[in-house]
């Protein structure tokens, strides 16, 4: 598979500008070359989304120019996005790269923390949900031992209980099913 390459030597000022533009912090990793199929995935995903809105909008009915139908705006915006996506895909075919090495561990750990919170909060209450979500979210950090993760989870869950149920009186159940 063809690999795409990218400029990996920005000077300090350019790097600062890039950080400013992307509104994220310095990454410490260089941009990485990726297979062409991976490079265009962003544009292709958006193109698929735009087509969903175009087809859905047509089904809803676009109306007339005088009385625009329910589907007119989704169709107009979907078509616009589809055209733009073709340009993006062509650009990425020539110069596509990922901005950084993906951090899949953090990606899935943070996702799992939210999922665990959603699953546990409804069935067992806020305190167990916070405890487990905190521990799960702290998994990407290997410098913190398990006992430290558990202590952090206990501290955050107790603080959440005190603040959100005790002080702010939000309608959460601290425990359920115990």
**What is the nearest approach in angstroms of other proteins to the Cβ of residue 1?**
18
Distance CA 114, CA 132 (A): 10
Q: Encode 59-128 in three state secondary structure.
A: HHCCECCCCECCCHHHHHHHHHHHHHHHHHHHHHHHHCCECCCCCHHHHHHHHHHHHHHHHHHHHHCHHH
Q: Smallest Cα–Cα separation from 98: which of 2, 6, 1? A: 6
């Amino acid at each position: 598979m063809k690999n795409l390459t990218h400029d990996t030597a920005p000077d300090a000022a350019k790097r600062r500008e890039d950080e400013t533009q992307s509104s994220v912090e310095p990454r410490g990793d260089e941009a990485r070359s990726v297979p062409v199929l991976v490079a265009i995935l962003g544009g292709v995903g958006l193109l698929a989304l735009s087509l969903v809105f175009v087809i859905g909008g047509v089904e809803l009915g676009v109306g007339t120019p005088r009385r625009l139908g329910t589907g007119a705006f989704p169709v107009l915006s979907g078509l616009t996005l589809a055209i733009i996506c073709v340009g993006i895909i062509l650009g990425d075919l020539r110069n596509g790269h990922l901005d950084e090495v993906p951090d899949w561990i953090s990606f899935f750990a943070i996702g799992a923390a939210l999922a665990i919170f959603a699953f546990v909060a409804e069935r067992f209450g806020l305190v167990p949900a916070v405890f487990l979500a905190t521990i799960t979210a702290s998994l990407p950090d290997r410098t913190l031992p398990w006992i430290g993760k558990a202590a952090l989870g206990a501290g955050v869950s107790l603080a959440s209980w005190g603040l959100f149920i005790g002080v702010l009186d939000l309608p959460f159940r601290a425990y359920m099913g115990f």
